[in-house]
Amino acid sequence: MGESGLVTACRGIRLLPVAIVCWGVSASPLNAQASLPQLADTVLYERLDLYDPVTGEFAGSEETYWAPDGRRLRLDVRDATGASTLLFYLGHDALGRESNGRYFESDPFEPWFERFSYSADGRMRTTTYVLPDGGEGDRTESDLDESGREVFKRYYRADGSRYGEEDVNWNDDGTSAGWEFRYLERADVAAFTYDYQAVEAGGWTHRLRLRNGEPERLEVRTVWRAGAERPFPTGARFAPDAVSTDGSETSPSFTSDARTMVFARYGDDWALKEPFIARLGSGGWSVAELDFGPVYNLSIAPDGASIIFARSVGEARTLHRVRREGEGWSRPEDLSSHFGLAGSYPLLTTEGDLYVYDVNGPRGEGIYFAPRRGDGFAPAEPTYIPESGDAFDAWVGRTGGPLLMTRCFDATCASGPTNGVWLIDTASDSERKLANVPYAWGVQPVEALGLFVFTDGEDILALPLSVVMPEGSSHAHGVESGAEGAR
């Protein structure tokens, strides 16, 4: 659908993907009952998470629901906060083809309507938009191929005048290749083209959408099929080709404004990682190697003024600090020697206090807390020692606030009912596992980008913060948004 047609059909949703919002990517099969997929192959749910390709910021999502017989039932478009901006419901005829649509935007009690009709041979579908008084508005005629997919579209106003046309393109594996819309009577904007890049064959998970050759958004796909367990949302590779590469990255940590991050990259030896810093500029994320490696893991202070890192030598874990000096960093300071601190997975709060995981802690393995004392730290005291399993790599927004941490209760540490990311509130003695995150570590809410960032040990990944923490995101749990300086 063209941009002007989008406004008519979807009542001003200008920022949404034309083909998906108005159901223009594909049509129902020509003979729906004969060609419905088998139950085991049927997609019940598809989610597209949308990200800015330059910054990585979460932009919103689109969720589509299907019946077990393959009929599309509903589309739910949400903004970056998780608030619904469009609800679209579909009805079907006796052949299982889409016959009518009802959609809601700002007012959940005032629906808009559209009607679908088909030619005698089933190779053309007409979408007619119904006006509030019941009259007919603009319409779109879609030519369908033998699979029922749209391949060419014609756009008409209510008075019958034709104002645009569109070619819809497909890859050989059946995935969308994009579309090109052309105005028939406008000289200022003659046409615009959308293309998809980096689509994996078949069940793709990541693809880049370009508008007139310029990257517009990154789409990350999660699919739930009949007969399968509902999957975790697919994590987006953060800053692909800059931060997340073909190598192995871990230990992500952001400053409070989300303009700077540090991370580590490793090869054959997990204990010997090289530290990197990335800065967000107008052209995206630029990455430079830091000169104090190797490290075991690291984090940057919320204000970006210092970096705490751990080193691993045999069974020992020592802690070190570098401080910002002009455009560079100071020589490393040995915190273990100066203040008697030990451990790994360090975290600095906005108050300057230190949380650390100590596998050999004096009170047992767990999370320890060392309050700031002048230019250094007081001795570390236990703040969370698990009764069973492992608990490590904590993140906290403010000193004394709820702790996000990774917990593992068995030898596999595979995602499951217990293994995963937990929110522990020691003040209220409450804890719960985050349901929408797989087993991961290095977790951090990055509210400035609307992201929940983590690592699986191979890539630095992100999920929408509104999905991971839907109850008001981090604020609902006492995690301050201005303290994203730890992992």
Q: What is the pLDDT of residue 101?
A: 97
Q: What is the pLDDT of residue 140?
A: 98
Cβ partners under 8 Å of residue 198, min gap 6: 206, 207, 208
Half-sphere exposure of residue 221, counting CA atoms within 13 Å on the CB side?
Answer: 19
For 115-155, the pLDDT digits (tens) are 999 999 999 999 999 998 889 999 999 999 999 999 999 99
Q: What is the pLDDT of residue 133?
A: 87
Query: Do residues 238 and 461 lie in contact, with contact meaning Cβ atoms separated by under 8 Å?
Result: yes
Q: CA dihedral defined by 223, 405, 348, 58, rounded to 10 degrees? A: 10
Q: What is the pLDDT of residue 109?
A: 83
Q: What is the pLDDT of residue 9?
A: 35
Q: What is the pLDDT of residue 477?
A: 42
Task: Tell me the one-letter amino acid at 257.
Answer: D
Half-sphere exposure of residue 486, counting CA atoms within 13 Å on the CB side?
Answer: 28
Q: What distance in Å separates the CA atoms of residue 27 and residue 142, rounded to the nearest whole number?
A: 9
Q: What is the CATH number of domain 3-231?
A: 2.40.160
Q: What is the pLDDT of residue 470?
A: 84
Fold of 237-477: Neuraminidase (2.120.10)
Q: Would you kindly state where each structural domain of the chain is located, as residue ranges?
A: 3-231, 237-477
Residues of the chain with pLDDT under 50: 1-37, 473-487
Cβ partners under 8 Å of residue 338, min gap 6: 376
Which residue has tokens 């293994």? Answer: 419
Q: What is the pLDDT of residue 485?
A: 31
